[in-house]
Amino acid sequence: MTNILLTGGAGYIGSHTYVALVSAGYRPIILDDYSNSHPGVIARLEDITGQPVAHVRGSVLDVAMVSALIEQHAVQAVLHFAGFKAVGESVAEPLKYFDNNITGTVRLMQAMERAGCRALVFSSSATVYGDPAAVPITEAFPLAHTSPYGYSKIACEHIIAAMLAAKPDWHASVLRYFNPVGAHPSGLIGESPQGVPNNLMPYVAQVATGKRAHLNVWGADYPTPDGTGLRDYIHVMDLAEGHVAALDALLQTGRSFTVNLGTGAGHSVLEVVRAFSLACGHAVPYKICERRPGDIAQCYADATLALQLLGWRAQRTLADMCADTWRWQSRNPDGYHEAAIA
């Protein structure tokens, strides 16, 4: 049994990747400080997988604890999900993002080195491309940050590259996510943002359940087919399976790589609203508003390299993403924050 450590494994992407790893025969262990996730997800994961979940409450900043955890479980690789990811918050609280995201990654790698585990899968983001000169975006595009959050991801990519150059026995897979949305088809786990959702899909889902009155469409004057922002939405289960494919490749070949994890197609805000209305069976009210500062018009992946390197491509459609989101949201209108969840 190959033991894998998932930092931030109780979070949105981490929890779905946990399910995919168990399905693929790995033994994942969750490490989470629950600063941006909820312990209620553990019981849900046990329901889905039918087996106990190995989990530890703690921070990646605690080198001694993480190093001991890696040794205790003979961890063969680490998937590093733990990190803050709200662009707007990062502008208001840059040090919080630099400490958690950058220092956290450095401390994690120190713990890995101390424990002799040198295989890392890193959660990066399409935000590292800034405002791209063209679409679709390939991995060769220049990196440019447009927020402290984006800077933290670029910094971590450089730190990992420096470690790979210095230590030939290290290998890493950097995965640049586009826009993760959706939920596990069971409706037991999904995205459970704290407070008012920044991202489109969870906000639309909360409008659909009546928790929010309407969606504010941030701008309808972009140079796109219907004037609203275009993004590469990828189902979180496709993303999870992309992590399994990347881990398989990393452990089997020992070669490092950076790939986009996207569908290669873009959808506008209004296309998402229409698709969600079909999924939930009623209209999703919205208002056209001014652009949100910092937003870009279009962002979608060239997904060729992931297919070439990993034999992986996204399978699920926008309709699947909306149907699975609706099932999760309608059954858990307050996410994991309901009192009923232990």
Check if the beta carbon of residue 14 is closer than 8 Å to that of residue 20.
no
Question: How far is Cα 164 from Cα 98, in angstroms, rounded to an integer?
Answer: 21
Residue 21 CA: distances (Å) to CA of 28, 106, 178, 206, 240: 7, 25, 21, 29, 8
Which positions from 79 to 118 touch ligand WQD by CB under 6 A, shown as an x/- string? Answer: ------x-x-------------------------------
DSSP letter at 301 equals B
Closest by Cα among 195, 191, 173 to 245: 173
**Interacting span for ligand WQD (CB under 6 A) from 97-105, 186-194, 197-205, 245-253:** 197-205
- Complex with ligand WQD: residue 47 or 226, whichever CB lies closer: 226
Is 34 labeled as catalytic in the residue annotation?
no
Check if the beta carbon of residue 242 is closer than 8 Å to that of residue 261.
yes
Tally of helices (H runs) and strands (E runs) in the chain: 12, 14
Q: Which of 149, 177, 233, 336 is catalytic?
A: 149
Question: How far is Cα 269 from Cα 256, in angstroms, rounded to an integer?
Answer: 35
Residue 95 CA: distances (Å) to CA of 26, 98, 99, 170: 35, 5, 6, 28
Among 187, 218, 256, 313, binds ligand WQD (CB under 6 A): 218
Asked if 224 is part of the footprint of ligand WQD (rule: CB under 6 A), the reply reads: no
> Closest CB to ligand WQD belongs to which residue?
229
Which positions from 264 to 303 touch ligand WQD by CB under 6 A, shown as an x/- string? Answer: -----x----------------------x--x--------
Asked if 231 is part of the footprint of ligand WQD (rule: CB under 6 A), the reply reads: yes
Binding to ligand WQD (CB under 6 A): which residues in 242-271?
269
Q: How many residues bind ligand WQD (CB under 6 A)?
A: 19
Q: Which residues contact 72 (CB under 8 A, 6 or more apart)?
A: none
Check if the beta carbon of residue 264 is closer than 8 Å to that of residue 299.
no
- Complex with ligand WQD: residue 88 or 311, whichever CB lies closer: 88
Q: Please report how close the Cβ of residue 5 comes to ligand WQD at its closest, in angstroms.
A: 21
Q: Please report how close the Cβ of residue 126 comes to ligand WQD at its closest, in angstroms.
A: 7
Check if the beta carbon of residue 268 is closer than 8 Å to that of residue 199.
no
Kindly list the residues in this chain that would bind ligand WQD in the complex (CB under 6 A).
Answer: 85, 87, 125, 127, 177, 179, 198-200, 203, 215-218, 229, 231, 269, 292, 295
Catalytic residues: 149
